[in-house]
Amino acid sequence: MTRCSITRLMIASCLAALPARVVCQQPTLVPPAEVRPHSPVKSRAPSEILTQFSASLQQLASKVSPAVVQIEVTGFGTAEGHDRQGSNTSVMVRQRAIGAGVIVDPDGYVMTNAHVVAGAEQIRIVMPAVPTNLFDISSIGKAQVLNAKLIGTQKDCDLALLKVEAANLPTLPFELEHSPQLGELVFAVGSPEGLQNSVTMGVVSSALRQPDPDNPMVYLQTDAPINPGNSGGPLVDVTGAIVGLNTFILSSSGGSQGLGFAIPAPIVNFVYQSLRKSGHVRHIEIGAFAQTITPTMADGLGLAQNWGVVLADVEPDGAAFAAGLRPGDVVLNIDGHRMLGLPGFAVTLYQHPIDQEVKIDVLRGTQSLSFSVAPILARDRMDELAGFANPIISRIGSLGILGVDFDSEVRSLLPDARFDTGVVVVGLDRESNFVDTGLQTGDIIHSLNRMPIASVEQLRSAAAQLKPEDSVVLHIEREGQFKYLAFEME
């Protein structure tokens, strides 16, 4: 018997003890005098329980699957080849990747992983008609394929937001009120190996896992099988709500080994809201570095507790230091949330509103202290570039971008740039009905249809001469590498 079969039988046998999930009828009891010798008390057969459980899973799959899409990405990349002498060499080839995504708004907003769409020149979303049963052939060939635009990415969290031109699409909600519990049933939906609308079942193995101790990013760990192609698909609970977004596995073979990881729903929702609003993720920083307390650390530092989080560094010119926090402070609570370890510390600060003070309670020796920290906005390189945008001067509506001339200030944010001329894309214009050019924030435009571009005014003039259905090829520089972006004007 397979592990999955054993798991399902164990779950089925325990259903009677879970009235909140499955309501089981109690056997009818009769007075002892009316019970004949050796008459068995009527009870529900195991097959009935399994049937009810199976029906519940089918209903869940039918509810969730229509909102889970397959994402097809095409682009160019390097691959090993051979020259005429038979020597190994690198060649440019068209590459195709498949992942998954989940519709989070009926107007066509789709969340997925950043690595799914990395390097994409074209992104398409496949929304198939979901068959009602094994013999339903009416849906074959009815898959709806839509071109998608990349709204923005957050590479630190490995999240991306896509947009398709559609309305009244099926969606799944985020579960934000209740945290997943250890052992809770969850289901991973996606397109493993390109097999669309695959559903697997498992439990929450850990509600807050930090795989890399040097990276504050935390995940839900699950044993629900996750394989290549599941990336970007949702991890849902028994109600069909999103508790996480599947992102990676730990495996020596490349296949699922019960070590799957999903980005928690609160983080996915936070990034979604930020990307949809501005194309960037804005979050705070307080200028403090924390570590998880170990018994050895507590003993050596003379801490009052041997668990939790301690501030190892507080930047002298940072917000935390200005508020009164110091190295060696044991963090008890942030915004009323008890700090049991570094993952909770990182997540709480990451999701904190940018316009509110952070309430931090600490233990300094044996003294309890409370501080209000006025945070600053954490800015990455793309955020810094966005600061150069002027909605009037920078806007190039026909291309749907905000651009600035390459100058010394911009160069400091683009250290990999190979030339000091061109137009730097500092933002995408969300208010224009623009063609999907494939441009991203940070790209440097060097030419349009072989015409050298040295300024925003020159690019705007060249773009204004383009007519609908004209072919356009931009020669751009992205992270120190040149590439062509080809598209047609609409």
Please write the tens of the pLDDT for every residue from 41-80: 556 677 888 888 889 888 998 899 999 999 998 875 555 5
Buried b or exposed e, range 133-149, using 16+ CB within 10 angstroms: eeeeeeeeeeeeebebb
- The sign of the CA dihedral 418, 422, 426, 432 is negative
Q: Which residues of the chain have pLDDT under 70?
A: 1-44, 76-95, 128-143, 192-196, 213-216, 251-258, 379-384, 386-387, 391, 429-434
Active site residue 82: no
279-313 exposure pattern, b = at least 16 Cβ within 10 A, e = fewer: bbbebbbbbbebebbeeeebeeeebeeeebbbbee
For residue 138, what pLDDT is reported?
54
Strand-pairing partners, residue 72, are 98, 124
Query: Strand 444-448 vs strand 423-428: parallel, antiparallel, or unpaired?
Result: antiparallel
Alpha helices, H only, 89-182:
114-117
Say what the pLDDT of residue 211 is.
73
For residue 251, what are its two tokens?
A: 């495996």
Domain 381-488 has CATH 3.40.430.10: no
| 250: helix, strand or coil | coil
Question: 231 catalytic, yes or no?
Answer: yes
Q: Using CB atoms within 10 Å of the CB of residue 24, give its burial: 0 to 12 exposed, 13 to 18 middle, 19+ buried.
A: middle
What pLDDT does 422 receive? 92
- Distance between CA atoms of residues 63 and 74, nearest Å: 30
| pLDDT for the residue numbered 155 | 82
Contacts of 85 (CB under 8 A, 6+ apart): none
In this predicted structure, what is the pLDDT of residue 190? Answer: 83
With 0-12 / 13-18 / 19 or more C-beta atoms within 10 angstroms meaning exposed / middle / buried, residue 176 is: middle
Place of tokens 């013999």: 135
Which structure tokens are listed for 299? 């003993």
Domain boundaries, the chain: 1-25+46-81+90-130+141-278, 283-378, 381-488
Domain 1-25+46-81+90-130+141-278 has CATH 2.40.10.120: yes
pLDDT score for 198: 82
Domain 283-378 has CATH 2.30.42.10: yes
pLDDT of residue 295: 92
Single out the catalytic residue among 191, 205, 231, 256. Answer: 231
Residue whose tokens read 């996915």: 268
Contact present, 220 and 244 (Cβ < 8 Å): yes
User: Nearest to residue 70, comparing CAs of 193, 196, 186?
Assistant: 196
pTM equals 0.65
Question: Taking the CB of residue 203, how many other CB atoms lie within 10 A of it?
Answer: 17
| 1-25+46-81+90-130+141-278 shares its CATH topology with 381-488 | no
CA 104 to chain centre: 12
Distance CA 238, CA 22 (A): 11
Q: Which of 65, 158, 237, 280 is catalytic?
A: 158
The distance from CA 36 to its chain's CA centroid, rounded to whole angstroms, is: 62
- d(CA 484, CA 462) in angstroms, rounded, equals 17
> Which of 281, 183, 263, 194 minimizes the C-alpha distance to 230?
194
Compute φ and ψ for 473, nearest 5 degrees. Answer: -130, 120
Mark whether 475 is an active-site residue.
no
